[in-house]
Amino acid sequence: MSALIVMIVILAIALAVIAIVAVGMQGNLADRAPEIAHVMANTARHLNGDAQPPRGLVEFFDEIPVPKSADSATEAARR
Question: What are the pLDDT digits (tens) for 9-32?
Answer: 999 989 878 776 766 665 666 677
Domain count within the chain: 1
pLDDT digits (tens, 9 = 90+) for 21-62: 766 665 666 677 778 777 777 877 887 888 888 888 888 888
What is the distance of C-alpha 9 from the center of its chain?
20
- Give Cβ neighbours of residue 37 (< 8 Å, ≥ 6 apart): 24, 27, 29, 30
Parent domain of 54 = 2-78
- Give Cβ neighbours of residue 46 (< 8 Å, ≥ 6 apart): 53, 54
